[in-house]
Chains A and B, each alone.
Chain A
Amino acid sequence: MPVITYRQALNDTLGEELARDPNVLLMGEEIGVFQGSYRVTEGLLAEFGPKRVVDTPIAEEGFVGVAIGAAMLGLRPVVEIMTINFILVAIDQIVNHASKIHYMFGGQVSVPLVIRTPSGGTGQLAATHSQSFENWFAYCPGLKVVAPATPYDAKGLLRTAIRDDDPVIFIESLALYDTKGEVPEDDDFVVPIGVAEVKRQGTDVTVVSYSRMTAIALQVAQRMEQEGISVEVVDLRSLRPLDRPTIIESVKKTNRAVVIAEDWYSYGVTAEIAATIQEEAFDYLDAPVYRVAGLEVPLPYAKDLSAASKPNANSLIYAIRQVMRGTKRMR
Chain B
Amino acid sequence: MAEVAESAQPLLERATADELKHYYYQMLLLRRFEERASEMYVKAKIGGYCHLNLGEEATIVGLMAALTPDDYIFTNYREHGYIIARGVPPGPVMAELFGKETGVSGGRGGSMHLFDRKTNFMGGYAIVGGQVPLAVGAAYALRYQGKPGVVIAQMGDGTTNIGAFYESLNLAKIWKCPVLFFIVNNGYGMGTSVESGSSEPDLWKKGASFRVYGERVDGTDVLAVRDVVRRLRARAEAEGEPAIIDAVSFRFRGHSVIDADRYRDPEMVRRGRELYDPIRKFAALLLDHGVVDDTWLKSVADRVEREVQEAIDFANNSPDPKFEDLYKYMYATPVPNTPTAEDAIRAVKINRGEF
Q: Is the CB of A30 within 8 A of B190?
A: yes
Residues on the A chain within 8 Å of B127, using CB: 85-86, 88-89, 128
Q: Is the CB of B320 within 8 A of A308?
A: no
Number of A-B contacts (CB under 8 A): 143
Q: Is the CB of B128 within 8 A of A86?
A: yes
Q: Is the CB of B191 within 8 A of A300?
A: no
CB of A29 within 8 Å of the partner chain: yes
* A125 to B256 alpha-carbon distance, docked (Å): 13
B44 to chain A, nearest CB (A): 9
Total chain B interface residues with beta-carbon distance under 8 A:
50
* A59 to B163 alpha-carbon distance, docked (Å): 7
* Known contacts A126-B109, A126-B113; is-contact A55 B192 (Cβ 8 Å): yes
Q: Is the CB of B353 within 8 A of A308?
A: no
Residue among B161, B263, B320, B323 making CB contact with A34, cutoff 8 Å: B263
CB of B296 within 8 Å of the partner chain: no
Determine the residue in chain A with the shortest Cβ distance to B156.
A58
CB of B92 within 8 Å of the partner chain: no
* A66 to B178 alpha-carbon distance, docked (Å): 34
| CB interface residues, B 87-109, toward A, < 8 Å | 96, 99-101, 105, 107-109
| CB interface residues, B 121-144, toward A, < 8 Å | 125-129
Instruction: Bin the interface of chain A by size.
Output: 35 or more
Residues on the B chain within 8 Å of A88, using CB: 127
CB of B309 within 8 Å of the partner chain: no
Determine the residue in chain A with the shortest Cβ distance to B158.
A58
Q: Is the CB of B161 within 8 A of A58?
A: yes
* A38 to B62 alpha-carbon distance, docked (Å): 35
Q: Is the CB of B99 within 8 A of A301?
A: yes
| CB interface residues, B 237-284, toward A, < 8 Å | 262-263
Q: Is the CB of A34 within 8 A of B326?
A: no
CB of A199 within 8 Å of the partner chain: no
CB of B197 within 8 Å of the partner chain: yes
* A89 to B129 alpha-carbon distance, docked (Å): 10
Q: Is the CB of A57 within 8 A of B49?
A: no
* A241 to B351 alpha-carbon distance, docked (Å): 31
Residues on the B chain within 8 Å of A86, using CB: 127-128
Residues on the B chain within 8 Å of A124, using CB: 47-48, 99, 110
A52 to chain B, nearest CB (A): 17
CB of B189 within 8 Å of the partner chain: yes
The 7 closest A-B pairs by CB, nearest first: A301-B110, A34-B191, A124-B47, A302-B99, A57-B161, A314-B353, A57-B197
